[in-house]
A and B are shown apart, each in its own frame.
Chain A
Amino acid sequence: MSSSSGHAPIVSVGTYVMVFVALLIGTGLTVFAASRDFGALNTPIALGIAVTKASLVCLIFMGVRYNTPLTKVVVVSGLLWLLILFGLGMNDYLTRTWMGVPGR
């Protein structure tokens, strides 16, 4: 339940500390995982841990879980646009030899 001024509910210190500990564990995990070679899985593992940590900060520390649907759409759009940049951009670099045109 939010107050009359529209603020989010008060979250307990305990929850915040748990997230904090999770973030530290995640950091340790990513350093440990990097010391081993998982081949093609190296990057997905590192990014997966980073995304999980970022999500915790975003949803709980930043309080997005309590925000309006509009705010959530804004957050997701930002990430989506990043993916458009990466996706369509890498679409060039990864397909340079596909059409068999000499020199391209």
Chain B
Amino acid sequence: MTAATTQERHSYLDAPYGLKAWLLTRDHKRIAMLYLISITFFFMMGGLFAAGIRLELLTPKGDIWSADMYNKLFSMHGVIMVFFFLVPSIPATLGNFLMPIMCGAKDLAFPRINLLSWYLYVAGGIIALVVLAMGGIDTGWTFYTPYSSLSSNTNVTLAIVGVFVAGFSSILTGFNFIVTVHRMRAPGLTWFRLPLFVWAHYATSLVMILGTPVVAITLTLVALERSLHLGIFDPKIGGDPVLFQHLFWFYSHPAVYIMILPGMGVVSELVAAMARKSIFGYGFVAASSLAIAILGFLVWGHHLFVSSQSVYAGMVFSIITMLVAVPSAVKTFNWAATMYKGSISWESPTFYIVGFMGLFLIGGLTGLFLATMGLDIALHDTYFVVAHFHYIMVGGAIMAFLGGLHFWWPKMTGRMYSEALAKTSAILVFVGFNFTFFPQFILGYLGMPRRYYAYPDELQVWNVLSSAGATVLGLGYTLTFCYLVYSLFKGELAPANPWGAKGLEWTTSSPPPTFNFDEDPIVTEPAYDYKPHGTEVTVG
């Protein structure tokens, strides 16, 4: 065990020292840490709003918050969780940290632009906090017109500016990743030797680049209509609110793939490492990331099934939506096949990825229910939809994020966390999550609309279950936060390769030096080059 020697080496955490060195850094690893702190803050804020929602829904009547206040709670919950947590989460933290290292490079292609992306994210976040202080918005995170452009009395314009700035930050991250993967790979690192984490982030970056600008201009139009009365969506002068929906969802559907693809990349890495086996069907998994990114742009109309969108167009979108489930299924089957006859080590990251696979499966399958136009007419805007997307975004993306955070925590911080507490947290999160969101499928099936603060008495039992589950979920997240922060100060020093995993990041120290590698790597092996069960790999 070489734990003692990691302290002697120059880690990116230590040098150069001081606040200014951190705030003006060009080191992708430091920027990743800065992002980690900021997104954790926004996750907590979003969680607070969720708590407010679940508190109200304990009783059938709207008795805690006024209707207006409730509208603001779910709107701010959505805006913060989508734009300020989920979209940046894995790419800006794990992605920023690992992409150059996995490509064998010293940094991303444009380090200063990387720092700029963090500052833009913080600026957007500050604007969101100002909006919050001024009473928040009540339009829903979807900003549907004409309410958002004409009627709402809240600070929609400022909120739009905040989202716009945060969106620009994500564009810069995506653009950096694309150029890095194309132009900065180490000698010998061909595309098909890249870890699947890189493929997933590459695909995510494509979506960021091609989709985000459209929501930027769409929200700009809403802001201009509100502030300068340049009517675009106002029905009185001939405007079409459905056009807003087309433009909004053109980004916001692919955005959900921005939120899940990186998680899938994390799962691929963790499955291979925890099962000590090369990913089954590497090529298919890599190709499926690209397929999801591309097909994801062709399905947005499934959010418009009950609008005045043409039925014919609805059919087209419905069929393509069914198709986009296929690459996701390919990945899920391949992960399972990887684990089959693998030498599975049941550590905390494993808990998270197994949780991911089950929950993502349910979330994904329920998406097919919603893709079926006839069913969607009954299920649209009910709790079924809410449950569906939370299964994917919380049961999927957040579990993957936590799994990845745990897996790479020793690498990023040079510390080990408490494995017992981590396993406890994982179980709390899994159980809490299911109690929170499974009842919501039933509620949606029984007709409870989303974004309502009151409901018929007979639905109370499911709502109470859901709120109870949310409490357990919150406990799980809080516990995770606590022991991870504790480990920064008191955790055991981490060796270079605590999991005995394959990958360029494990060949360098924990934490890595500023320029990642002491010697420029030359790659000669395929990815996930695990030897058969019973031979080799030393831990450490």
Contacts and interface: CB of A to CB of B under 8 A. Distances in A.
The answer to whether A and B come from one shared complex is yes
Interface string B96-111: 0000000000000000
A92 B297 contact: no
B210 A81 contact: yes
B321 to A, nearest CB: 12
Given A70-B182, A81-B210, A88 B311 contact: no
Given A88-B298, A88-B301, A98 B312 contact: yes
Contact of A91 (B182, B297, B316): B316
B311 A98 contact: yes
Interface residues of B, number: 20
Nearest to B178: A74
Nearest to B182: A70
B250 A92 contact: no
B246 interface: yes
Nearest to A70: B182
Given A70-B182, A84-B298, A88-B298, A101 B311 contact: yes
B298 A92 contact: no
A99 interface: yes
Of B210, B242, B300, B312, which is in contact with the most chain A CB atoms at under 10 Å from its CB?
B312
A94 to B, nearest CB: 8
Contacts of A7: none
A104 interface: yes
A72 interface: no
Nearest to B245: A92
Interface string A69-97: 01000000110010011001101110111
Contact of A104 (B182, B246, B308): B308
18 contacts: A77-B210, A81-B210, A84-B297, A88-B298, A89-B250, A91-B313, A92-B246, A92-B304, A92-B313, A93-B310, A95-B310, A96-B308, A96-B310, A98-B310, A99-B312, A104-B308, A104-B309, A104-B311
Nearest to A94: B310
Interface in B288-308: 297-298, 300-301, 304, 308
Interface of A: 70, 77-78, 81, 84-85, 88-89, 91-93, 95-99, 101, 104
A96 B301 CA distance: 14
Interface in B254-296: none
B182 A92 contact: no
A31 B242 CA distance: 34
A104 B311 CA distance: 7
Tell me the interface secondary structure of chain A in the complex. helix
A20 to B, nearest CB: 30
B113 interface: no
A73 B313 CA distance: 29
Contacts, number: 47
A81 B296 CA distance: 12
A-B complex: 9 closest residue pairs judged by Cβ atoms: A99-B311, A92-B313, A95-B312, A98-B312, A96-B310, A95-B310, A81-B210, A101-B311, A92-B309
Contacts of A84: 297-298
B116 interface: no
B150 interface: no
Interface string B356-377: 0000000000000000000000
Contacts of B313: 88, 91-92, 95
B214 interface: yes
Given A92-B310, A96-B310, A98-B311, A85 B214 contact: yes
A81 B251 CA distance: 12
Contacts of A92: 242, 246, 301, 304, 309-310, 313
Nearest to B317: A88
Contacts of B311: 98-99, 101, 104
A78 B214 CA distance: 12
A93 B297 CA distance: 18
A99 B298 contact: no
A89 B246 contact: yes
Nearest to A101: B311
Contacts of B300: 88
Contacts of B242: 92
B293 to A, nearest CB: 11
A40 B315 CA distance: 30
A96 B298 CA distance: 19
Nearest to A80: B210
Interface in B313-353: 313, 315-317
A99 B310 contact: yes
A84 B251 CA distance: 12
Nearest to A84: B297
A89 B300 CA distance: 10
